[in-house]
Amino acid sequence: MSISRTTNISCPACGTQQDVQLYDAINVETDPQLKEALMHNQLNRVDCEDCDASFRVDMPLLYNDPGNRMLIHWVPETANVTREEILEDFDESVEQMNEMVPADINLPSVRLVLTRVELVELIFMIEAELNQRVVEYVKYSIHTRNMGKVDPRKSRLLLNVQDSTDEELCFVMQDVQEQTLGKVLRYGRAAYQSICELYDEAPEEFMEMFPGPCISARNLLLDDGTSA
């Protein structure tokens, strides 16, 4: 079931207040149209009734994909809530949830993302049946081998599943401050498959590197204090 509520907000352009319907959770099985709205950047988007300004309201969102047994929480960073606080609070919530659920209940996988583009990227990865930890390992390798050009403090690497081919995975660089997309980097699909084979042989090494639920090469590098 999808969950929405009516909220009174002010237009950031003109200050006009209006009541709007915003979604806290969407179930893509029961409400596929909400998934389409999310993927086309229309979910929780508001058109001001006074000045016609269009803006998106970024707020915590639960994405529920029962078919793939996946829950994804998008918790945006704000000026009042840091990435570290989000991760700490989320870990505590997951731990409490696991303690409350009987041991014989098989819970769906839970992921945490901090930006909308990472949410969309993860959805594409799940549907393409790509290994998220292997993809993040590839990103980690690209960052560390090209730190001068792909500095994680300045750039975010995003996998473009739609433009990837049978021969290559397509990654695009996003400027963290401007949120603009830039240079495209390509990574051989054969190399990705080789890493997947390593994952199958020793998944614990990848789990240790990316324990989740927020699986991110960029976060790992930032936590390690890596710099150019």
Number of domains the chain contains: 1
- What range defines the domain where residue 92 resides? 60-223
* Mean pLDDT computed over every residue of the chain: 91
| Per-residue pLDDT reduced to its tens digit, 178-191 | 989 999 999 999 99
Count other C-beta atoms under 10 Å from residue 70's C-beta.
18
In a domain, 41, yes or no: no
Measured between its terminal Cα atoms, the distance across the chain in Å is: 46
In a domain, 157, yes or no: yes
Tokens of 8: 């009174």
| Per-residue pLDDT reduced to its tens digit, 71-88 | 999 998 876 788 788 888
In a domain, 11, yes or no: no
72 near 63, Cβ under 8 Å?
Answer: yes
In a domain, 32, yes or no: no
Residue 65 and residue 108: Cα distance in Å, rounded?
9
In a domain, 27, yes or no: no
| Per-residue pLDDT reduced to its tens digit, 41-53 | 999 999 999 998 9
Question: Average pLDDT of each block of 10 consecutive residues along the chain (228 residues)?
Answer: 95 96 96 97 95 94 93 86 83 72 71 94 96 97 92 95 97 94 96 97 95 90 72
Indicate the pTM of the whole model.
Answer: 0.89
In a domain, 26, yes or no: no
135 near 145, Cβ under 8 Å?
Answer: no
